[in-house]
Amino acid sequence: MIASAPVFAGASMRVSRLMLVTLRDDPAEAEIPSHKLLLRAGFMRRLSSGIYAYLPLLWRVLQKISTIVRQEMDTTGALETLLPQLQPADLWERSGRWAGYTAGEGIMFHLTDRQGRELGLGPTHEEVITTLAADLLRSYRQLPVNLYQIQTKFRDEIRPRFGLMRGREFIMKDAYSFHGDEDSLKQTYAAMDLAYRRIFQRCGLRTVAVEADSGAIGGSASQEFMVTAEAGEDLILASADGRYAANQERAVSLPPEALPLPSGLGAGGAGAPLSTPGQTTIEQLCGAHGFEASQLVKVLLLLARFADGQVQPLLISLRGDQQLNAVKLANAVTARLAPAHGALLAIDPLTAELVRSEKLALDLSEIPFGYLGPDLDDAVLAKTPEVMGLDLSARPGEAPGGGAATHPPSVRLARSFLRLADTTAADLAAFVCGANAVDGHRVGASWPGLGLQPEALDLRAAQSGDRCLHDPDQCLQAARGIEVGHIFQLGRKYSEALEARFTNESGVEEAFWMGCYGIGVSRLAQAAVEQHHDRDGICWPVAIAPFEVIVVIANTQEAAQVELAEGLYNELSAAGIEVLLDDRSERAGVKFKDADLIGIPWRVVVGRGAASGQVELVRRAGSEKLELPASAVCARLEIEISRGRAGVPAAG
RNA sequence: CGGGAUGUGGCGCAGCUUGGUAGCGCACUUCGUUCGGGACGAAGGGGCCGCAGGUUCGAAUCCUGUCAUCCCGACCA
């Protein structure tokens, strides 16, 4: 690894000229420590929800992070570019993402120009870059290529949150790689993995790399880099030996052993009837009859909605002691139905409210909620409510007495369930389940006995405390994390959709293999504060601190102090150290408080000892204080700071 | 979008229940004292009480609507 050059070598500034405005009280708008501190310490101001002005101190931090990112990306041979933020709709229509990204819960800001053309403000750049690659990359000889940029992204987040953590306008490094084959993609993916570890390490962040769900971006493999912090939005499950870590959305584990039903109860057929009046929950059922939750199969009814208007009822069977992982379910449903019906828009519980709000011609009154079994008959979906007067063939917009259409395409309701079962349920030889009739359950039912052969899938949520797959002696432990980076193997999803091809060695046209790699630069800055602060303020890691040293003149009316401090300030600056001089005519206490708050890693106090040439050196993180001659300060700091610029030892 | 909360000088808040024309702390300006952990005194400037309607002789206060911000859920760097 190359030694890190300082970003603003020798940059210096007087606090009196810095437009430093610090606040004594926590702003009411902020909830988590990093957000409060960045506002209090004068690093940023909110302009609107999720939209922030980066003030001079923060802009220096962001540029330092960007420089580290740039150096490490360049080291891997990636090429820096700058792509348009204003992007034509037709490009997004070609990839099939325009509707999903602009309509409904879409996150793309979009507008119409004076010619009536529709444009979107880039939330991500797969479309632009793939089009560009298709234009420029004609031959396998040009591959692989990895292009990146650092720029502002726009996302109309459903809920902006926690300052820079989830902004609507934020700075991101995004990279996209193009390959002739999957092996090449995997090589670059691995190189990005290493580059990312170096980037976070150099930024002074403790991160953990976790297996991740690919989400809406798509593709096969993906890995997230998490800054571990209490305020993190994500839940990480990791083994103590460090060999497995995953986002809970993706995590797999060994389920707890199920307790077999006592043999007398295990009839193995369709089950023996059991009267269970009013016992609609697993707790009630277990409490009343002495069952364990792992002896039960519970059934969830859900409704999946697709871009083409298809509405698909789902019947999900889970072992009674397990929870559904919504992400795994969405992936399974997408894999089965998205090819025919377009993007999966939402999966919601099948409730009367949903049926009403979606104006579905479905009567739920026949469904015995609380007593469902996996063999619930599709016939329950056949009933159309007469009172609503809805005609199945009617388009929603034309429904009698109805209001405006809720879906652009006409809604089509499938009249049979898509039945999926989690492995833990499918593996039960005999179980307790609902009788599909009010006030009744069945004991000792089996899958063959119910006439079902469920497809076993992993749909359960892994939990803290579960045993690990790689080593059953290891257990998963939960931690919270802030996602600061995410790398994906995209495969050919975008290149095929956008017909981005090159000519391979055999002279045949072929779609590119692609990867994409993101780092939330502004989020990383706040995550660093979240990880590095104390009661008094921020403790910036040296490598991304706005300045490395602050020289505080305890009393500016003492000529000896001023003279010594000015000399040190010039000496440090000349030595290539980024230094602030607090020359304000404030009392010493005010200046100490501000220095702690804004988090400069090293403080040199020029005070009472100035007459004899003595100063005090204080490290912001920790409580080290050192009296030394001013003449020794520069040499000492050069050593300490060059060490700090290299970051922290790599983790996870 | 659903649920919860809040909008009063730049920041943090009180006042609202029981209507009578706005107050405290910090910050800011000037003067004096003080000067190593957010000093003290004196004087001063700054507010369409989010916005729009309504009730009333009179509204920060009561009513209706609306907008904004924050928190909890789906989204993601």
A439 in the same domain as A509: no
User: Which residues numbered 252-281 in chain A sit less than 7 A from strand B, measured from CB?
Assistant: none
A182 in the same domain as A321: no
Q: Is the CB of A522 less than 7 A from some atom of nucleic acid strand B?
A: yes
Enter the tokens of residue A99. 């509707």
Task: Reply yes or no on whether the pLDDT at A405 is more than 70.
Answer: no
- Arithmetic mean of pLDDT, A56-70: 97
Please tell me the total count of domains within chain A. Answer: 3
User: Which residues numbered 30-49 in chain A sit less than 7 A from strand B, measured from CB?
Assistant: 31, 40, 46, 48-49
Task: Reply yes or no on whether the pLDDT at A410 is more than 80.
Answer: no
Helix (H) or strand (E) holding A426: helix A423-426
Task: Reply yes or no on whether the pLDDT at A390 is more than 50.
Answer: no
User: For the domain that residue A608 is a member of, what is the CATH number?
Assistant: 3.40.50.800
Does residue A495 sit within a domain?
yes
CA A28 – C1' B59 distance (Å)? 27
Residue-level pLDDT at A36: 97
Task: Reply yes or no on whether the pLDDT at A431 is more than 90.
Answer: yes
Q: Is the CB of A480 less than 7 A from some atom of nucleic acid strand B?
A: no
Residue A624: give the domain boundaries: 547-645
Does residue A244 sit within a domain?
no
Task: Reply yes or no on whether the pLDDT at A40 is more than 90.
Answer: yes
- Arithmetic mean of pLDDT, A562-587: 96
Question: HSE (CB half, 13 Å, CA atoms) of A295?
Answer: 21
Q: Is the CB of A557 less than 7 A from some atom of nucleic acid strand B?
A: yes
Q: Could you say which of A466, A497, A531 is where a domain stops?
A: A531
CA A47 – C1' B48 distance (Å)? 22
Between residues A39 and A263, the one the model is more confident about: A39
User: Which residues numbered 124-153 in chain A sit less than 7 A from strand B, measured from CB?
Assistant: 124
CA A225 – C1' B71 distance (Å)? 26
Rounded distance, CA A443 to CA A271, Å?
5
- Arithmetic mean of pLDDT, A357-363: 79
Q: 3-state SS of chain A: helix, strand, coil percent to 5?
A: 30, 30, 40
- Arithmetic mean of pLDDT, A114-120: 95
Between residues A142 and A335, the one the model is more confident about: A142
Q: Is the CB of A605 less than 7 A from some atom of nucleic acid strand B?
A: yes
Longest dimension (CA), chain A: 96
Does residue A314 sit within a domain?
yes
Does residue A107 sit within a domain?
no
**What mean pLDDT, rounded, does chain A reach?**
90
Rounded distance, CA A532 to CA A516, Å?
29
Tell me the C-alpha to C-alpha distance, in Å, between residue A454 and each of A34, A39, A256, A317, A418.
Answer: 48, 54, 21, 9, 11
A552 in the same domain as A527: no
Does residue A23 sit within a domain?
no
Does residue A252 sit within a domain?
no
Residue-level pLDDT at A517: 97
Task: Reply yes or no on whether the pLDDT at A218 is more than 90.
Answer: no
Residue-level pLDDT at A97: 85
pLDDT-based confidence at A319, cuts 50/70/90? very high
Q: Is the CB of A618 less than 7 A from some atom of nucleic acid strand B?
A: yes
Poorest-pLDDT segment among A179-183, A405-409, A491-495, A587-591: A405-409
Task: Reply yes or no on whether the pLDDT at A397 is more than 60.
Answer: no
Residue-level pLDDT at A364: 84
A222 in the same domain as A162: yes
User: For the domain that residue A518 is a member of, what is the CATH number?
Assistant: 3.30.930.10
Between residues A232 and A405, the one the model is more confident about: A232
Contacts of A641 (CB under 8 A, 6+ apart): A542, A548, A549, A577, A601, A602
- Which residue lies nearest B6, CA-to-C1' measured? A28
A611 in the same domain as A507: no
Residue-level pLDDT at A366: 83
A423 in the same domain as A367: yes
Q: Give the nearest nucleotide to A47, CA to C1'.
A: B69
Q: Is the CB of A115 less than 7 A from some atom of nucleic acid strand B?
A: no
Q: Is the CB of A613 less than 7 A from some atom of nucleic acid strand B?
A: no
Does residue A409 sit within a domain?
yes
CA A525 – C1' B12 distance (Å)? 26
A279 in the same domain as A161: no
The residue type at A300 = L
Q: Give the nearest nucleotide to A526, CA to C1'.
A: B77
Q: Is the CB of A536 less than 7 A from some atom of nucleic acid strand B?
A: yes
Condensed to tens digits (0 to 9), the pLDDT of residues A439-482 reads: 999 999 999 999 998 888 999 999 999 999 999 999 999 999 99
**For A591, phi and psi rounded to 5 degrees?**
-70, -35
Enter the tokens of residue A16. 């009196």
Residue-level pLDDT at A8: 67
CA A26 – C1' B17 distance (Å)? 29
Residue-level pLDDT at A398: 36
For strand B, which nucleotides have at least one atom less than 7 Å from a protein CB?
Answer: 1, 6, 11-13, 25-27, 34-39, 68-77
* % of chain A at pLDDT higher than 70: 92
User: For the domain that residue A336 is a member of, what is the CATH number?
Assistant: 3.90.960.10
Condensed to tens digits (0 to 9), the pLDDT of residues A246-258 reads: 999 999 999 999 9
pLDDT-based confidence at A6, cuts 50/70/90? low
A375 in the same domain as A319: yes
User: Which residues numbered 215-254 in chain A sit less than 7 A from strand B, measured from CB?
Assistant: 215-217, 224, 233-234
Residue-level pLDDT at A23: 95
Rounded distance, CA A143 to CA A514, Å?
11
Task: Reply yes or no on whether the pLDDT at A382 is more than 60.
Answer: yes
CA A105 – C1' B1 distance (Å)? 9
A498 in the same domain as A612: no
Q: Is the CB of A444 less than 7 A from some atom of nucleic acid strand B?
A: no
Q: Is the CB of A574 less than 7 A from some atom of nucleic acid strand B?
A: no
A181 in the same domain as A55: yes
A525 in the same domain as A553: no
> End-to-end alpha-carbon separation of chain A, Å?
18
Q: Give the nearest nucleotide to A163, CA to C1'.
A: B70
CA A586 – C1' B75 distance (Å)? 46
* % of chain A at pLDDT higher than 90: 73
CA A31 – C1' B13 distance (Å)? 17
Enter the tokens of residue A202. 């150099």
Condensed to tens digits (0 to 9), the pLDDT of residues A528-558 reads: 999 999 999 999 999 999 999 999 999 999 9
CA A589 – C1' B41 distance (Å)? 20
Does residue A289 sit within a domain?
yes
Q: Is the CB of A523 less than 7 A from some atom of nucleic acid strand B?
A: yes
Task: Reply yes or no on whether the pLDDT at A649 is more than 60.
Answer: no
Q: Give the nearest nucleotide to A247, CA to C1'.
A: B76
Task: Reply yes or no on whether the pLDDT at A7 is more than 80.
Answer: no
A81 in the same domain as A187: yes
